[in-house]
Structure 1
């Protein structure tokens, strides 16, 4: 029982026992003296003396206890917490000894021990860094290669949770309502049936190297994906872990569909016309001439063939290797092509992407420009690409003499590069033609490319990084969250900025940000950061603190939509915040409006800090960051994302300190933090009542 009581509480009990013993000894002595005299007249004197002596003894012991607690017990607790922070939370700065001046050599010895530990750890880290620098460089190169491979690559556990995904996978899965994150279920992003069926077939296969192919859909149904799945050989003990590659075949399937419809229309429309011609020819050859004339039928057939040929030309490019290309990049490639020929090019291109084989189109235009140069001596060209309807109009113009359509037609039959591919072959593959015309008052070659699509901004890290944590393959799964080890849980650490401090009086969120901690590490690429329109003016006093103004949130999402998006981001995770009741109150108020409940387990870093350092310490975010060596940039302080990142880094160090104290399971931590509810209310009681 006494083992679970803190040092200061034990010392207090010691002094209480000492006071009780002293008072008891005084009482026994006075009782013995009184009975030895045996005079009733002395009773009052003995009692008064006993009471006075008792109070003096209690006062003296209380004063001594206060001095001992202030100068010995409390500094010992601080030194112990500081040493634990340096042992488990990787805190490097010097151990503070100002409050421990009455502990003799203990503080100096503890400081020397911590310094030696830091030096040893630093030397070891330096040695490891030297040995692993080459491996780290190779790892970065492999990550870059994996990030840019054309298929989406996913590694999943046997429970279908994400362990690895590359940039292409993030693009493919980004159409889902849920952000792509580690340890999330892959069925949040892809249709469940085909994947479960493929996985089941692999698990039943006797061949460990078997590969199963399948077709699946994204949940929104916008993408049709061709997948290949095989079991992961190096699976960390998870025999059901698998690697899956996905390729977007939406365009291919649509192309095959258009061709099938075209061929169906050929048979549907041509066969009756041919049958009618056959019947009429038989009538005219086998008997007297009829009044009917087959020429209208032939003309109708010719018109049908023209229409079908036009449709075929539009489908011809479906089997040609093509990809969306930024029109500006197409112009840059053509400029490099012409510079190699000693020619110059000015570019004026809209921000659109055209679906084409960029290499072939650039080679074609470069070949034509070289022929124009040979005919007219033009050395300066201009490329204009503009979006018109569903196509992009291309005009390559020059100053000087014009050319004829006949000359252009002659150039189209020439091979563009080795292999015999001619200009006309490239044009037919793109369902295209070249015409001689004018761009303004300059002679030009005109053409069109289709289809086009508007360019959309893409996150800087969307396709250049891979995200993974292979330790997830060997992480244990717990049926009860209270039994789970702290690193076996996923955390979403969040912070809000608001119009004020009184949600019950109408204050609202203006910014909400969050980061994810998976397997004990913060995933730097999985970030939620959203400006929110509060539906009311933001006071200047609030803007002065967090920097969010009315102009910044004018076009931002509503509070309700922000709450919905954050709920999706935090799904299945433990919520972590600093002074969580304040932030959660803004979310709880919107639950009925959005039809969602925040039933997540919640940890408050104020209570976790009290468990790690003791209730008497200061538990503000700034104090914790200073104590644990977490650096917060001044520009990031009091921004939702900056504070969320700082809180996450603080929480990771506090979590390691709790593990050093033997608190390694979530239920143990929850029981411990509840003993400090006088500092901040524990919100997990709210979840119990809600459920």
Structure 2
């Protein structure tokens, strides 16, 4: 409804209501006067006539006054407001430059000037916004063209995918690398054109690295390299995957670059065959030459002097030829190893992927043991090789339970597959190596994978009686995450003297037969009684003398307070990293369940136990497990030295340290130290848990006496 009509109806209603009120008042007045006898002649008084005559006159007069007021209001207010409203609507919806016009009385001139100033400023701001949007659009278009130019000029295929492997972006060179023109585009799955297993393996490696927080220190961050192939197997691709992390550090997708290395590998294959013919093909002639020499040396018809001279020459040349062949073989292996794409990584991730493949099939049980080491390899082909070898051993021996772990050698890292049974014969092993491994790019055989890694496998028996298959790998470059930090001060809780003797069912059991959980904490400081809190807790299980690196507990904890920078310098944990993590009263029951009835092991256990004991009441749990302290055991075993901090003990026992000053890293190092200590404890006639607790108590008594002195 129009504004002026609304005002008109309002005035009309006001006039009618006013007239009705006047008539009603006059009627009441006349009626009251008649009842009081105040009229001169009430019998002949006609109130209605007076009311209609005088009331109507007053009403008409009032209506006339109201109409005049309305006309004046309409001219001075309603009409200008209507004009202003229409002007504002015109400026907002039709013409931003429009100015509201006013030709009536001057009383509303200020209002019109103010409204026009607002319209002018609004138009100016709108124009600025349009200019900014145009500039931003132009900049985006410019960057888009630059990105398109960069992607077009790249000699590698670039693909961006989400977690469902759907393509979000790709460049034209991707089509050339994949040798396709159709069946590929935005929204389609990358796995329809590239072999899915290497993609899945690489993604799992990176996801584990990010979940464990190792990507912050890893030299490649959230990136890894691997080899895959087109879905038809005709082209081998060298790929690099980088995870896309959201603000919370969770993978949201990945970027993958692809390069066709088929021709390079083909040329490499031709070179390999030529080198093999030129090197390994000479072994038989050399052997024949040696045999001929031996026969000639055994010929009694030749005089002694001539035979000796001839033999010296022939043997000398044979040795030189043999050395030449050996050098060529070494160069051949170095050449193919240097060409094949490899990366450095932790064996824990590599072996866990092997165990995971069997865990999904639930047919063979593979347990990851031993401390992790750094290896240099093509992880995808090595995972396939190890899976293939385990299946071959299982088919041959009918064994369904295996351990897989690593051991550091002087120059190499040895991956050991162990089982209860007999070793595999060399002839049988040799036959396995000529089989093509399913899923490998370029249809590699097991021997090819070993050649690429300068490796040869063999089977023998370990010192503990288990059979094993040993696969040497190239030692990787260790990522040093530790800084030049002073060792943590030693804490001795003399209440450990009152540690109750363990239950009889485990007190006299051999140490090697017990189940252990080796744990460590990271905290905001060193004084739990003064408000310092736990920020990280981790543990690893030891069962039957095996460090089960596949069974770990690793949690960040929200301490409910700020983490001092001096503490962050030690363990690298910041306030942002723990902001969304659960508090200790929720984490500690989970750790308690993980520990179960196992014996607890820690380095400087009194420090860690003090923090835990102060949180037991709030968490509703209680740790009554037996406790062994590697610090006290080190004092007992190596009383000749005052150096009993973790790095010094690890150095003495030859345990490789990495990821130091993290809860999980320190727990793994402590576990490795304890495993080495078991042999030395046995030599010193400490073979049961009660004996280990007894010698630890003696060391505490010695420390107490030193403190008193």
Q: TM-score range by the shorter chain?
A: 0.3 to 0.5
- Relative contact order (C-alpha < 8 Å, sep 6+): which is higher? 1
| TM norm structure 2 | 0.31
